[in-house]
Amino acid sequence: MRWKHTVVIFSCLSFGLLSTSEAEAQDQTEDDTTLLIMSSLIGEIDLPADTTARETINAYYELLSATTDSELSTTLTNLNRRTEDYQVAFRSGDTAELNEIVDELVLYWAAIRSVHIREFAPEVVALLESAYAEIYPFIQAPD
Q: In the chain, which residues fall in CATH 1.10.287? A: 53-135
pLDDT, tens digit, 9 for 90 and up, residues 20-57? 445 554 555 555 665 545 568 999 999 999 999 999 99
Q: Which of 76, 1, 67, 75 is nearest to 40 (CA)?
A: 1
* % of the chain beyond a pLDDT of 70: 73
| 53-135 has CATH 1.10.3470 classification | no
Q: Which of 14, 55, 46, 56 is nearest to 31 (CA)?
A: 14
| Separation between Cα atoms, residue 71 and residue 74, nearest integer Å | 5
| Separation between Cα atoms, residue 84 and residue 138, nearest integer Å | 13
* pTM assigned to the model: 0.69
